[in-house]
Amino acid sequence: MPQTILAIETSQQSCSVAIRTENGVQSRHQIAAKQHANVLLPMVNELLTTCSVSLQDVDAIAFGCGPGSFTGARIAASVTQGLAFAANARVIPVSSLQALAHSYLQHHSQLGRAPLLVVLDAHMDEYYAACYQFNAKGDLQHTFMSDCLLSATSLRKWLSDFDEAVLLGNGLPVLLEKSASSLSENLLRRLELVDETARSTEINANSVLAIAENAWREGEHLAAEQALPVYLRERSAWKTVEQQTASKSESK
């Protein structure tokens, strides 16, 4: 593991940065809706100064690559790329959905090995979703569903299939509001029981950092020019679950 990893996360309302040095972890976190571009670099500079670390001391820069806010993911990727070029550092893209699940787990350790199904509002009646399972240390053990973009119909199916999963993310109240009449009685009750913490949890750069450290140990890091955001809505870069299912059926 390198001595110094810097982590950046701006894919939601918050602007969050964290750094791992030989002296431990320091972080900064603030709500900065539509202000990420203005506050991110000052936060990074302030954190480096506080830790007596220069940019050239940074070995790797991790960032929440999305899915999430298009603008937020693009800002994180752009800043990461620029800093990595300046520092001659490697980059580590981290799924923002996985980081959100990890962030929630840090405050709800009693959940143990329960799968966490993350749902974010992607607007236009679509949702970003993924389902992960972590161990007691917060290390990813299994991905039940990789990051994907779902219609409301597909999301209802996934939620019903994963009836033992813990639900979280800001897409849940949106689904409840827009699709209440289409929900089964059981799913309607599950969504109504999701508490405010699970609905409003924000991603923290500490979780991006923790996931990135595991990735570094596995040799999963890239050159600076490969710091790119993930836009699941781009048709050239993603398949819907329905398309994936159809492709699998055709290949049999």
pTM of the model: 0.89
For position 58, what pLDDT does the model report? 97
- List alpha helices for the chain, DSSP H: 36-50, 70-87, 96-106, 152-161, 171-179, 185-193, 196-200, 205-217, 241-251
246 has pLDDT over 70? no
251 has pLDDT over 80? no
For the chain, percent of residues with pLDDT exceeding 70:
91
Alpha carbons 13 and 130: distance in angstroms, whole number: 20
Q: Mean pLDDT lowest for which of 9-18, 150-159, 183-192, 222-231? A: 9-18
Alpha carbons 139 and 38: distance in angstroms, whole number: 33
Pairing of strands 14-21, 5-9: antiparallel
What would the mean pLDDT of 170-188 be, rounded to a whole number? 94
Please check whether the domain covering 5-97+202-226 is classified as CATH 3.30.420.40.
yes
Pairwise pLDDT comparison (112 vs 73), residue with the higher score: 73
241 band by pLDDT with thresholds 50, 70 and 90? very low
* Cβ neighbour number for residue 47 with a 10 Å cutoff: 18
Sequence-ordered list of residues with C-beta below 8 angstroms from that of 226, at least 6 positions apart, any chain:
91, 93
148 band by pLDDT with thresholds 50, 70 and 90? very high
Domain span(s) for CATH 3.30.420.40 in the chain: 5-97+202-226
Q: Is 27 exposed, middle or buried (0-12, 13-18, 19+ CB in 10 A)?
A: middle
196 has pLDDT over 80? yes
For the domain spanning 108-200, the CATH number is 3.30.420.200
Tens digit of pLDDT for each residue in 126-143?
A: 999 999 999 888 899 999
Alpha carbons 186 and 149: distance in angstroms, whole number: 23
223 has pLDDT over 50? yes
Q: Percentage helix, strand, coil, to 5, in the chain? A: 45, 25, 30
What average pLDDT does the chain have?
89
Q: What are phi and psi of 98, to 5 degrees?
A: -65, -40
What would the mean pLDDT of 194-201 be, rounded to a whole number? 93
Tens digit of pLDDT for each residue in 50-68?
A: 999 999 999 999 999 999 8
Comparing CA positions, the residue from 99, 60, 86 lying closest to residue 220 is 60
For position 33, what pLDDT does the model report? 76
Comparing CA positions, the residue from 183, 213, 150, 203 lying closest to residue 15 is 203
234 band by pLDDT with thresholds 50, 70 and 90? low
Domain span(s) for CATH 3.30.420.200 in the chain: 108-200
Could you identify the residue written with the tokens 């450290």?
A: 213
